Amino acid sequence: NRHLVTKFMSEINFVSSAHQGDIIEMGVEVIACGRTSVTLRAEVRNKLTKQTIISIDRIVFVNLDDNGAPLPHGYAWPGPEANVEGEP
């Protein structure tokens, strides 16, 4: 039973505007993985122009047990230098 909760979120940088009718996409990248926590970076972009609309440098989630205490999440993360797409 996983309870990943938000522990911390850095500032949200509003880089450019989105307008009604724009098609947007969100990219999320794991930048660190601890025993009980996972740290992500996120970016919202205009899907056609790839222009950044919003960026968040750091979002930290912590896995909690049923009593609210940190619990190892069991995720394996190869690290930022690993090739996660399986290419040599």
Read off the pLDDT of residues 30-60 as tens digits, 9 standing for 90 and up: 999 999 999 999 999 999 999 999 999 999 9
- Count the domains in the chain: 1
Give the pLDDT of residue 75: 84
10, 83, 85 from 57: Cα distances, Å? 6, 21, 23
Identify the CATH number of the domain in which residue 27 sits: 3.10.129.10
Answer yes or no: is 40 within a domain. Answer: yes
The pLDDT confidence band at residue 67, using thresholds 50, 70 and 90, is: very high
29 or 2, which is more confident? 29
What is the arithmetic mean of pLDDT over 6-20?
A: 97
The pLDDT confidence band at residue 2, using thresholds 50, 70 and 90, is: confident
User: What is the Cα–Cα distance from 25 to 12, expressed in whole angstroms?
Assistant: 16
User: What is the Cα–Cα distance from 73 to 78, expressed in whole angstroms?
Assistant: 15
Answer yes or no: is 49 within a domain. Answer: yes
User: What is the Cα–Cα distance from 56 to 11, expressed in whole angstroms?
Assistant: 6
Give the pLDDT of residue 80: 63
